[in-house]
Amino acid sequence: MSAPRRARRTIDVGVDLGGTKIQVAAMRGEKIIGTARVLTPQSGDAGDVVRAIGEMVAQALSQADASLSSVRAVGVGSPGEIDHSTGAVINAVNVPGFGEHFELGGELSKQLEGVRVVVDNDVSVGVLGEFRRGAGRPYKDVLGVWLGTGVGGGLILGGELRSGRGSAGEFGHIVAKPGGRKCGCGNRGCVEAYAGRLSMERRVLSLVARGHKTSLLEIQKERGRDRISSGVYARALKQGDHLATVLIDEAARAVGIGMASAQNLVDFEAIILGGGLGDRLGEHFAHQVKHHMHHHLFAKGKPPALLGTELGDLGGAVGAALVTRG
């Protein structure tokens, strides 16, 4: 009697892991067949984050009427430096328990019954998703800048994702103001210190404690958020909140300076602006960024195309699924 056939593994799963949310997409070929999303645990340890990822993978597969036995691989886009040989994540300070060194690939594979796990930088895989299936398709040399809990970047050079030795594309740690505001990485003046939501939130709380007025915290409470999200900033800006306007102006300036520095070095055809703030604040914010970038460009007559994302929130998860295919 012949042995029973094993289920054919036809599904790739992508996980976009961020300091605020975990987004999962299950894909068969080019089609998204299941999705799931949850807020990233803010208490506990790295094990709680891994369990949350496992639960969302199961939920996405359930929506797709599939099981782990049909999954070829799970790709994860994570903040921080990535050891591609082991799937370890280093210095992902915005994710609980990931601040120094965490063996994400191995631990998640155990959680998922031995399914192969591929780990790469979160913004790198987001940019890969946009390059292959979104706004970056017409180009060969692309920079992606994602503004979320932190600020990340991804590089497409000659049509290929550039990872370097694990930390290529760390746009958030380009210095926009030497000796400036303290960044979570320990350095001063990084783009992330001005445009990362976590750094911006610390700034809000510090200024409010010193007597500055703002509607940001009230809007946060009304929306039931435990952090000052991109949607909270969008609402405050619409209401003309002065502090929100100042902070977003500072963010646009830092991002524009950082983009100009990157552009002057590499000469990209296009730059894609994404992440929570990039997607939510829309054309007006992009125009502010473009203004500051242009002011600092060397070749002002040949600026890169500045684009929004096409895949939106699903870009990171789609790119993570695609990265498993090489």
CATH ID of 11-126+315-323, from 3.20.20.150, 3.10.450.350, 3.90.1300.10, 3.30.420.40: 3.30.420.40
Residue 225: its pLDDT value, please?
86
DSSP string, 294-306: HHH-SSTTSPPEE
Residue 95 CA from chain centroid, whole number: 12
Residue 4: its pLDDT value, please?
47
Task: Report residues of the chain scoring pLDDT below 70.
Answer: 1-7
Residue 318: its pLDDT value, please?
95
To the nearest 5 percent, what fractions of the chain are helix, strand and coil?
40, 25, 35
CATH code assigned to 138-308: 3.30.420.40
The span from the CA of 129 to the CA of 315, in Å, is 5
Residue 209 CA from chain centroid, whole number: 30
* Count of H-run helices and E-run strands, the chain: 10, 13
Token couple for 192: 């992330």
The span from the CA of 139 to the CA of 133, in Å, is 12
* The two domains 11-126+315-323 and 138-308 share their CATH topology (first three levels equal): yes
Residue 166: its pLDDT value, please?
75
Residue 7: its pLDDT value, please?
58
- The domains of the chain are located at 11-126+315-323, 138-308
The span from the CA of 326 to the CA of 313, in Å, is 22
Query: Where are the alpha helices (H) located in 114-266, listed in sequence order?
Result: 122-133, 192-195, 197-209, 216-222, 230-238, 242-266
- What residue has token string 């992330």? 192
